[in-house]
């Protein structure tokens, strides 16, 4: 894949310079916008592959930018937030962002997140060209058509809820899913935010697919936010 075109949306000049210098040094193509309105215009006219979005913009909230973009585009959005409160990240993720970075962040962190997003982008493109019926990630395999899952050659004995959870996570591999998003998808809105139940089912699912109690090889916990399935190298 060619180096993706990245739209950097940041009004703070020093942070913007740090990001664009890093992108330039690593041979990424980029565009920069300093407010929400320009960001939306640039996104529609230049069709970037990835958006790096600051949530605190001078003209509108970054969450509004995500909502607008999501009406026509599913490009990966990495939110960059100065606010450390979980609610901002959760609002951004629920609006359709893929991942978040909290300021201050290191150049290495930024590059690592970009690599995760590029893998997700690659998978999204492969999936759209060929509707996939089997998901493979390391030793884990989910056969959506047959409705079963395997670890290596061994079929996993999952309850219907565990299987639904595994499907939801695998279909969104690389993306952080919030508690609300997961509970709504698994149980519908009546169970919305029943995080305690979700935790119980997630623990039993993990027991079946992870190597040990503390292992997060496949499913990463984002405390106070949600969960993400990691794409195993």
Residues engaged in binding Ca ion (CB under 5 A) = 11-12, 54, 56
Q: Are 36 and 65 in contact (CB under 8 A)?
A: yes
Helical (H) or strand (E) element with 181:
helix 179-187
Cβ at position 111, least distance to Ca ion in Å: 21
Residue 59 DSSP class: S
Residue nearest to Ca ion (CB): 56
Among residues 147, 169, 172, 145, the alpha carbon closest in space to that of 157 is found at 147
Peptide bond into 225 cis (omega under 30): no
State in angstroms the smallest separation of the CB of 176 from Ca ion.
21
Q: Specify the residue, 40 or 124, whose C-beta has the smaller distance to Ca ion.
A: 40
| Least gap, CB of 107 to Ca ion (angstroms) | 19
Cα 203 to Cα 193: distance, rounded to the nearest angstrom: 17
End-to-end CA distance of the chain: 17
Strand, helix or coil at 133?
coil
Question: In terms of CB distance, is 60 or 122 closer to Ca ion?
Answer: 60
Task: Output the smallest distance, CB 17 to Ca ion, in A.
Answer: 14
- Which CB sits closer to Ca ion, 11 or 37? 11
Comparison of 11 and 139: residue with beta carbon closer to Ca ion: 11
């Amino acid at each position: 894949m060619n180096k993706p075109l990245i739209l950097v949306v940041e009004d703070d000049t020093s942070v913007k310079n740090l990001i664009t210098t890093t992108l330039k040094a690593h041979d990424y193509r980029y565009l920069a916008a300093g407010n929400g309105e320009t960001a939306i215009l640039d996104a529609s006219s230049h069709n970037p592959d990835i958006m790096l979005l600051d949530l605190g913009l001078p003209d509108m909230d970054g969450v509004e930018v995500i909502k607008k973009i999501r009406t026509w585009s599913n490009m990966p959005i990495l939110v960059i937030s100065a606010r450390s409160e979980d609610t901002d990240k959760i609002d951004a993720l629920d609006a359709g962002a893929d991942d978040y970075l909290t300021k201050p962040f290191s150049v290495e962190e930024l590059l690592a997140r970009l690599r995760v997003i590029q893998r997700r982008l690659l998978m999204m493109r492969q999936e759209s060209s060929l509707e996939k019926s089997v998901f493979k990630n390391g030793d884990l395999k989910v056969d959506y058509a047959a409705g079963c899952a395997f670890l290596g050659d061994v079929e996993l004995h999952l309850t219907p809820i565990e299987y639904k959870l595994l499907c939801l996570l695998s279909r969104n591999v690389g993306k952080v899913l919030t508690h609300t998003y997961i509970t709504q998808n698994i149980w519908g809105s009546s169970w919305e935010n029943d995080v305690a139940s979700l935790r119980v089912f997630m623990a039993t699912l993990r027991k079946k697919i992870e190597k040990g109690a503390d292992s997060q090889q496949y499913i990463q916990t984002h405390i106070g936010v949600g969960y993400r399935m990691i794409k195993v190298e």
